[in-house]
Structure 1
Amino acid sequence: MPLRDVLLTIDHRPWELPTRPWGITQWWRHLLFAHWPIEPEKLIPLLPEPVTLDLFEGMAWVAVVPFRMAGVRPRFAPALPWISDFIELNLRTYVLPKQGRQQPGVHFWSLEASQPFEGRYRPTKPATPSPLLHFSEALEVAIWPLQRLV
């Protein structure tokens, strides 16, 4: 099948395609997804009200994800070496909304970047080295759509 036909085949997708064109491009380099299973009862109190855990085989999963972002740029703009490449580290779990469309998402307890320009995703008040509960209290809620692979 020609590539154009592959890209136009969408009936297998569980969600509709976005109605807006993409706005940002980026590459993830040197990526690690380190996951640990955890009993859901331990994480549920740490989540914001609009979401619940997305379980796999009855367990919640906490991930630490370090990587290098490269070529981050808005659509129709060039990448700028001094702001478009940086190291990122995030602490996350996988969630579902409690109401409405059940599209899986990611809840970030911490999203740290070596590039201050990326600061819009940083904590709203300083996060101190502390148990997970304090990360959750110190950060804004961030839910990002996620395509389930399993």
Structure 2
Amino acid sequence: MVNQTIPRPLTRANQWIIVLSVIVSLLLGATWALLVPMLAGISGLVFGKNPVMFAAKALLRKPLSSYIQEDRAQQQFNQWIAVSLLAASLLATWFHQHVLALIFQIMVGLAAAVAIAGFCVGCFVRFQWKQYQYRRRAGQLISRN
């Protein structure tokens, strides 16, 4: 069975890479820097192995279980959002839609920075989505009776 949690330092490392890549891209115009977190995120989603987290794991001193754990399903949801925004930014850049590219970069960078500070935007979005699904199912059950 796959571990259902991820130690917080590994998710923080991933978030820092996103923030730093966005900063490099914005300050230096090096849009290619967005490929680093995007490709790492795709690897994590497709193969279950995020190279950023793998590298960060090697730096941890304590056993993984001794760290605060994050829900894997929630982190994967967040990663889908981040990868989508990074890809959208790269595509917008490719199509010379620079304002749109900046908007996507700033959105993902701010979300990662706010997550580092303690508020998970993706968690809030997922919670609202789950609430909507629940209300919709509950409404369907009530209307059938």
The TM-score, its normalising length taken from structure 1, stands at: 0.24
Which one has a larger percent helix, Structure 1 or Structure 2? 2
Larger relative contact order (Cα-Cα within 8 Å, sequence gap ≥ 6): 2
Which one has a larger percent strand, Structure 1 or Structure 2? 1
The TM-score, its normalising length taken from structure 2, stands at: 0.24
